[in-house]
Amino acid sequence: MSATTSLERPRPKTIVVIATFLFIATIIALITGGSLHFPGPLLDRMWKFNPLYLTLAA
């Protein structure tokens, strides 16, 4: 008997693309949430990309 059976099919590329997108979105959300939950000089530099935040945080 061979190592692969006839029941195994390759994974569709769409699933890989969607899973990759969701993984990257999760990482971005964790970084953003962490920077809001634990403010500090290292993460505050990130908010220079969004100057509107400075007016909302004041």
pLDDT under 70: residue ranges of the chain: 1-6, 43, 54, 57-58
Q: Note the pLDDT of residue 45.
A: 75
Q: What is the DSSP letter of 10?
A: P
Q: Over the chain, what is the mean pLDDT?
A: 81
CB within 8 A of 34, min separation 6: which ones?
43
Question: 57 phi and psi, to 5 degrees?
Answer: -80, -20
Q: Note the pLDDT of residue 2.
A: 56
Tally of CB atoms within 10 A around 35: 16
pTM score, two decimals? 0.57
Looking up tokens 């059976």 gives 5
> First and final CA of the chain: distance in angstroms?
69
